């Protein structure tokens, strides 16, 4: 199976530190493509994107494998996404 050319575009964005959050990946690469390539149903992948804390390291590493980047780069983007979402929430 031929890999979607947009993976290479996202790889270049990650390597250039041009992305400020995990969900920015999906401005270039459709989530349905990534979900399909990971073997996930699109609804399952959509739920993970809605709550990035639910991503496992295995899933993050699989995404990194598809993008051909360092797994820590993807984990870092997910962490930035989680921290950014929690910034406005009060703890109590």
92 within a domain of the structure (yes/no): no
Tokens of 54: 């639910």
Domain membership of residue 6 (yes or no) is no
Express each pLDDT in 8-34 by its tens digit. Answer: 999 999 999 999 999 999 999 999 999
Looking at the domain assignment, is residue 5 inside a domain? no
What is the reported pTM? 0.88
pLDDT in tens, 39-69: 999 999 999 999 999 999 999 999 999 999 9
Query: What is residue 73's predicted lDDT score, i.e. its pLDDT?
Result: 97
Q: How many domains are contained in the chain?
A: 1
* DSSP per residue, 49-89: HHSGGG--HHHHHHHHHHHTS-HHHHHHHHHHHHHHHHTTP
Indicate which CATH number applies to the domain containing 54. Answer: 1.10.260
With respect to residue 74, please indicate whether it lies within any of the assigned structural domains. Answer: yes
**Of residues 89 and 26, more confidently modeled:** 26
Question: Does residue 84 or residue 70 have the better pLDDT?
Answer: 70
Asked whether the beta carbons of 84 and 21 are under 8 A apart, the reply is yes
Q: Which domain holds residue 57?
A: 20-86
Q: What is the mean pLDDT of residues 80-85?
A: 91
The span from the CA of 9 to the CA of 7, in Å, is 5
pLDDT surpasses 60 at 91:
no
- The continuous run of DSSP H or E covering 6 comes out as helix 6-15
Query: Is residue 58 domain-resident?
Result: yes
In a domain, 9, yes or no: no
Please give the Cα distance from 63 to 34 (Å, whole number). 8
């Amino acid at each position: 199976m031929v890999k979607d050319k947009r993976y290479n575009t996202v790889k270049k964005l990650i390597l250039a530190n041009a992305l400020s959050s995990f969900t920015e990946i999906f401005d270039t690469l459709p989530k349905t493509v990534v979900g399909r390539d990971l073997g996930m149903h699109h609804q399952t992948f959509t739920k993970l994107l809605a709550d990035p804390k639910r991503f496992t390291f295995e899933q993050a590493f699989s995404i990194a494998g598809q993008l051909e980047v360092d797994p820590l780069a993807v984990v870092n983007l997910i962490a930035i996404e989680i921290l950014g979402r929690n910034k406005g929430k009060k703890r109590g």
